[in-house]
Structure 1
Amino acid sequence: MTELGLPAHIRACLFDLDGVITSTATLHTAAWRETFDAFLRRRDGAGFRPFDPVGDYAAYVDGRPRADGVRTFLASRGIELPEGEPDDPPERATVHGLGNAKNALLLRKIEQEGVETYPGSVRYVDAVRAAGLRTAVVSASANCAAVLRSVGMTDRFDVRIDGVVAEERALPGKPHPDTFLAAAQDLGVSPHEAAVFEDALAGMDAARTGGFGYAIGVDRIGQADALREHGADTVVRDLAGLLDGRAEGT
């Protein structure tokens, strides 16, 4: 292993954004919870079963494109909604309407609470670039570019594959590997030469099925075992652990 905690054949690092580079995962979780609870309360009344911000978030929405997250969570409750249109208003009971309601809440939370980076992740990305490896950010979020600008990290990534780019290129989102594969291709490396850094189980599934050379799970919420089960070669609580030799095992 190199001083970066990576196999010697790795030439590029592909980083998820929310929960890996920035702390926006907590804002996403809160926005999903408010959106789904409001919908379920209207549908089922006061006795509705709330959205679980740990179990439901990890299993059904974390790392997935917004509409896929809506579909997958509702399917877990046996609920099917019309797809609607991408510009459906937030109050409309469609897949896109719920997705737009969540995004409106998220943007409000970002404006009110701001976005912070994980210092260990910034340190690690800088070390990766100093070592001559190429970097990409791979995120399901359509707000990825704005978030990177807000934290001053745009210039730390050679390639950005986010929700906007995925829609333009018709790339299916995680757990499909296509967005990670596109990032590797844009960087000029094979999947085997690229390492994936993810906090989401869907992202780990994408790394495994895409044949990537190494997968690092970032455990922010106590799901180290699940990350390993979904394909993580190493799990850390923070990326700085890879520099300090504090990976939690394989």
Structure 2
Amino acid sequence: MTELGLPETIQACLFDLDGVVTRTAVVHAAAWKETFDDFLRGYEGERARPFDAVADYDEYVDGRPRADGVRTFLASRGIELPEGDPGDPPDARTVQGLGNRKNELVLEKIRTDGVESYEGTIRYIEAVRAKGLKTAIVSSSANTRDVLRSIGAEHLFDVRIDGVVAAERKLPGKPNPDTFQAAARDLGVEYRRAAVFEDALAGMDAGRSGGFGYVVGVDRVGQSDALYKHGADIVVKDLAELGDNE
């Protein structure tokens, strides 16, 4: 499997969506910033410190299910909110309401600007499948299927474990490994024979703790050291760098 840059034992590849397959991480970061900054205007001092679209995004929300991201970031500012209900309106001052506001903004930005894929990733996935390896998309996003369809990539994945599936199966999100493990099980592959491809620190933690055979960190924002610290076996700027896929 050296032509793919993977150990010979790997039989399946599990890919994150945002930041690995699609150029949507920046869209999510912008939506989180607008959501949180609007919310924090009602506070003073440290609690009112604006959301940092790089540092706070990477540390508290990237890769996590939406509600978990809300809770984790607000906890960093010493703020607690009522949980609310999934159907809360986007102006509700609840965890679910803030999450719905963020999702509303993301969808608006995607409709306005569209979605782009990373061509190096698409070529790599095609090369992986040509070698007979199985593939899965593993994302906390509830919009995964629509995003894949928008870039014509739904056919590249044998299994999809996203925010919708995770909710149905009651799977905890990243940094827990459960969604990646579910993808491996659905593919019929042992965890140690599956490789994880992630750009988020929470995703690295999931790969490290889940018993997977190889964890590839994709560094889109200059956080190579942090990706290694959180469990990457190798870090690349683009999947085209792996093996002979360039």
SS at match of 2:2: coil
Residues 88-142 of structure 1: CA distance to partner in whole angstroms, max 9, x if unpaired?
A: 0011100000000000000000000100000100010000000100000000000
Matched, 1:66 2:66: yes
* Structural mapping, 1:128-167, within 5 Å: 128-167=128-167
* Structural mapping, 1:4-153, within 5 Å: 4-44=4-44, 48-153=48-153
Q: Which runs of 5+ in 1 are unaligned?
A: none
Look up the equivalent residue of 2:108 and give its one-letter code: R
Runs of 4+ in 1 over 2 A off after TM superposition: 42-45, 243-246
Look up the equivalent residue of 2:78 and give its one-letter code: G
Q: Which runs of 5+ in 2 are unaligned?
A: none
SS at match of 1:243: coil
In 2, are the aligned partners of 1:216 and 1:234 still within 8 Å (CA)?
Answer: yes
User: Displacement, 1:245?
Assistant: 8.3
**Equivalent residue for 2:2?**
2
Greater displacement, 142-151 / 237-246: 237-246
* Structural mapping, 1:173-188, within 5 Å: 173-188=173-188
SS at match of 2:83: coil
Matched, 1:236 2:236: yes
In 1, are the aligned partners of 2:41 and 2:48 still within 8 Å (CA)?
Answer: yes
CA distance in 1 between partners of 2:168 and 2:121 (Å): 28
> Please, what TM-score do these two structures have when normalized by structure 1?
0.96
CA distance in 1 between partners of 2:20 and 2:12 (Å): 16
User: Displacement, 1:244?
Assistant: 4.2
CA distance in 1 between partners of 2:186 and 2:7 (Å): 21
Matched, 1:195 2:195: yes
User: Displacement, 1:2?
Assistant: 1.5
In 2, are the aligned partners of 1:174 and 1:203 still within 8 Å (CA)?
Answer: yes
Residues 15-37 of structure 1: CA distance to partner in whole angstroms, max 9, x if unpaired?
A: 00000000011100000000000
In 2, are the aligned partners of 1:15 and 1:137 still within 8 Å (CA)?
Answer: yes
SS at match of 1:172: coil
> Please, what TM-score do these two structures have when normalized by structure 2?
0.97
SS at match of 1:3: helix
SS at match of 2:4: coil
SS at match of 2:3: coil
Look up the equivalent residue of 1:172 and give its one-letter code: P
SS at match of 1:110: helix
Residues 182-214 of structure 1: CA distance to partner in whole angstroms, max 9, x if unpaired?
A: 000000000000000000000000011101000
CA distance in 1 between partners of 2:54 and 2:74 (Å): 16
SS at match of 1:42: coil
In 2, are the aligned partners of 1:124 and 1:243 still within 8 Å (CA)?
Answer: no
SS at match of 1:43: coil
CA distance in 1 between partners of 2:243 and 2:139 (Å): 24
User: Displacement, 1:48?
Assistant: 2.8
User: Displacement, 1:157?
Assistant: 0.1
SS at match of 2:14: strand
Provide the aligned C-alpha RMSD in A.
Answer: 1.3
- Aligned-residue sequence identity (percent) comes to 70
In 2, are the aligned partners of 1:219 and 1:236 still within 8 Å (CA)?
Answer: yes
